[in-house]
Amino acid sequence: MSELVNKLSTGIHDIEFETRVENLTDVEKRLENGFIYVKFPKTSGGTELGINIDTSATKTANADFKNSKGTIHIEGMCTLDYVKVRCIADIDISTRQGKGCLQIIN
List C-alpha distances in Å: 69 to 25, 99, 104.
12, 17, 31
Q: Which CATH number is 93's domain given?
A: 2.40.250.10
Q: What value does the mean pLDDT of the chain take?
A: 94
Q: How would residue 100 be classed by pLDDT, with cut points 50, 70 and 90? A: very high
Element counts in the chain: helices (H) and strands (E): 2, 7
Give the structural domain span for 29.
3-104
Contact assessment for residue 64 and residue 70, using Cβ atoms and an 8 Å cutoff: yes
pLDDT surpassing 90 at residue 51? yes
Residue pLDDT, tens place only, 24-47: 888 899 999 999 999 999 999 899
pLDDT recorded at residue 7: 96
- Looking at the structure of the chain, the number of domains it has is 1
